[in-house]
């Protein structure tokens, strides 16, 4: 792969069919021969102007990939306890948490998922805690000891260190406007990667060698070799990153809605008689703003958990209290590592009976693929192996960008710093290839606007600069 479009020295140009406009032979050429200069010139703009955004995304992504293990070390006292003989009922653990932290309301409970792990009682509406976050109170499941309380974010239970790095990667701590940087990077990453692959494999095998080369050609060989090996992973990161971006993500959601591939949710609404009403959906932790039914009244949280276990919901699980008097508890499996556990049930708080069941096995195909893609992108699908792979991809991307800029510098040879290929490459593309290409670009630009808008801007600037250069030449020779 190449982030630097001008991958050939001037003396390479004729050998690879990249003559300047004045030297182009007046003979029919293959479609690829006519497209290659256009791809190279697009590579120039993408490499120079988009690569800085990719560099930021890669650097923060590298930090995020390392944050999972760092989190375990930083918050070891909150996350782990000595293994005891017997766990207390979940209701007693919740009561201990509420005694220490009576503020806010219970939004969810995550019982200890394994021996030696603490229980998390999640509180919403706590003063000083971001509205999108919860306060996680960590309870020793064996004796009810409070091990601490930390702000938590997201379905993966990110604690302050990982949350800070996650937000840095996602939006540079700038909120919604900051998300445009990451969407721009994701929108262009697959284009640059795909173009680089095509350009690399189109070069003669003898010109791809690394051994024995020096200078710019050695940089190109390093750049291309690493890029080829990392290409599949980079395209995957681009595609999965776009699925929950602001604009392209909305297009993906609309498409899934249109073809009936949305992620199903368990029905949590109840009739007055306690049976499933068949309407209303549980969309995430929220709670009712009170602790009624969790610590007193109704079936109780222990009976709710027992009913969920009877339906096959093994650890780890999250228990969300009823949103109101006509809603059920929702118990969901929250294991995002392979094999994923994503089953969920609704349980009547009055009787403790299961009123609805949603199995991950019944999800539509695109819903499953989206879930797996996001979890792999965020480093949880395959655990430590996943995180190491992400760190490796991020490091490769950083090196590719640095090598790309170095090649740009080396090609300039001092006075003509980083000069691009000649303009007008599109004029040599046959209409039967150019028209479908423009239609494809228009469609992509509509669905992925942070690809289409910059691309249109690059083309407009290129045309304007070309026209200015043309008028100057006419005045010179007049």
pLDDT in tens, 203-243: 755 555 666 566 778 888 888 889 999 999 999 999 999 99
38 vs 296: CA distance, rounded Å: 70
Find the mean pLDDT for residues 15-32.
43
Contact 395, 389 (CB under 8 A): no
CA dist list (Å): 85 to 94, 115, 116, 301: 19, 10, 11, 22
Cα 185 to the center of its chain, rounded Å: 11
Model-level pTM? 0.84
DSSP annotation of 278: S
Supply the pLDDT for residue 25: 40
Q: Residue 19 — very low, low, confident or very high, per pLDDT cuts 50/70/90?
A: very low
Contact 106, 301 (CB under 8 A): no
324 vs 327: CA distance, rounded Å: 5
Token pair, residue 324, equals 């109101």
DSSP annotation of 50: I
Q: Please indicate whether residue 441 or residue 369 has the higher confidence score (pLDDT).
A: 369
pLDDT tens per residue across span 322-376: 988 899 999 999 999 999 999 999 999 999 999 999 999 999 999 999 999 999 9
Task: Give the percent of the chain with pLDDT over 90.
Answer: 59
DSSP annotation of 208: G
pLDDT at position 428 over 50: yes
Supply the pLDDT for residue 278: 35
pLDDT at position 13 over 90: no
**Nearest Cα to 200, choosing from 178, 179, 231?**
231
122 vs 158: CA distance, rounded Å: 12
DSSP annotation of 85: S
Find the mean pLDDT for residues 286-304.
69
- What are the backbone dihedrals phi and psi of residue 383, each rounded to the nearest 5 degrees, phi first? 60, -135
Supply the pLDDT for residue 477: 61
397 vs 401: CA distance, rounded Å: 6
Question: Which residue has tokens 């019982």?
Answer: 111
Question: Which residue has tokens 């948490």?
Answer: 97
Supply the pLDDT for residue 33: 73
Supply the pLDDT for residue 281: 38
Token pair, residue 403, equals 């090598």
Which of 106-110, 147-151, 156-160, 285-289 comes out lowest in average pLDDT?
A: 285-289
Supply the pLDDT for residue 24: 40
pLDDT tens per residue across span 246-277: 999 999 999 999 999 999 999 999 864 444 44
Find the mean pLDDT for residues 145-167.
97
Supply the pLDDT for residue 425: 66
Supply the pLDDT for residue 353: 95
Q: Residue 292 — very low, low, confident or very high, per pLDDT cuts 50/70/90?
A: low
384 vs 357: CA distance, rounded Å: 31
Contact 335, 308 (CB under 8 A): no
Token pair, residue 297, equals 């009244």
Residue 175 region, left (φ>0) first, then alpha (ψ -120 to 50), else beta?
Answer: left
444 vs 452: CA distance, rounded Å: 7
Supply the pLDDT for residue 419: 56
Supply the pLDDT for residue 380: 96
pLDDT at position 167 over 50: yes
pLDDT at position 1 over 90: no
The three-class DSSP label of residue 106 is strand
Q: Residue 416 — very low, low, confident or very high, per pLDDT cuts 50/70/90?
A: very low
Supply the pLDDT for residue 196: 86
Q: Please indicate whether residue 33 or residue 311 has the higher confidence score (pLDDT).
A: 311
Mean pLDDT estimate for the chain: 84
């Amino acid at each position: 792969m190449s982030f630097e479009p001008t991958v050939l020295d001037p003396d390479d140009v004729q050998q690879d069919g990249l003559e300047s406009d004045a030297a182009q032979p007046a003979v029919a050429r293959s479609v690829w021969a006519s497209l290659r200069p256009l791809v190279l010139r697009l590579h120039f703009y993408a490499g120079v102007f988009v690569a800085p955004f990719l560099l930021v995304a890669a650097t923060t992504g590298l930090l995020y990939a390392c944050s999972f293990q760092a989190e375990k070390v930083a918050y070891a006292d909150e996350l782990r306890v000595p293994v005891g003989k017997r766990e207390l009922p979940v209701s007693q653990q919740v009561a201990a948490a509420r005694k220490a932290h009576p503020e806010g309301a219970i939004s969810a409970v995550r019982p200890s998922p394994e021996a030696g792990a603490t229980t998390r009682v999640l509180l919403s509406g706590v003063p000083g805690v971001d509205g999108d976050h919860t306060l996680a109170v960590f309870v020793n499941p064996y004796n009810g000891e409070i091990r601490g309380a930390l702000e938590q974010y997201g379905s993966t239970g990110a604690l302050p260190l990982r949350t800070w790095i996650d937000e840095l990667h996602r939006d540079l701590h700038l909120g919604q406007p900051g998300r445009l940087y990451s969407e721009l990077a994701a929108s262009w990453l697959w284009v640059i990667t795909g173009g680089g692959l095509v350009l690399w494999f189109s070069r003669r095998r003898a010109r791809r060698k690394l051994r024995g080369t020096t200078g710019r050609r050695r940089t190109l060989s390093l750049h291309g070799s690493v890029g080829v090996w990392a290409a599949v992973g980079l395209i995957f990161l681009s595609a999965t990153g776009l699925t929950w971006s602001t604009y392209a993500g909305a297009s993906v959601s609309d498409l899934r809605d249109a073809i009936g591939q949305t992620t199903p949710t368990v029905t949590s609404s109840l009739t007055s008689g306690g049976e499933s009403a068949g309407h209303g959906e549980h969309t995430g932790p929220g709670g009712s703003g009170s602790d009624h039914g969790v610590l007193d009244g109704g079936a109780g949280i222990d009976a709710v958990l027992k009913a969920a276990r009877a339906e096959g919901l093994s650890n780890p699980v999250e228990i969300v209290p009823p949103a109101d008097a006509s809603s059920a508890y929702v118990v969901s499996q929250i294991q995002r590592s392979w094999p994923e556990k994503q089953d969920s049930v609704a349980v009547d708080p009055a009787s403790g009976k299961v009123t609805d069941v949603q199995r991950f096995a019944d999800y539509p195909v695109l819903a499953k693929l989206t879930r797996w893609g996001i979890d792999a992108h965020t480093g949880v699908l395959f655990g430590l192996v996943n995180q190491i792979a992400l760190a490796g991809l991020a490091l490769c991307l950083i090196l590719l960008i640095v090598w790309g800029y170095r090649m740009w510098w080396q090609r300039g040879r001092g006075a003509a710093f980083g000069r691009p290929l000649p303009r007008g490459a599109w004029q040599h593309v046959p209409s039967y290839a150019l028209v479908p290409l423009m239609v494809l670009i228009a469609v992509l630009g509509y669905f992925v606007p942070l690809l289409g808008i910059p691309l249109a801007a690059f083309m407009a600037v290129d045309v304007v600069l070309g026209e200015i250069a043309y008028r100057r030449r006419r005045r010179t020779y007049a």
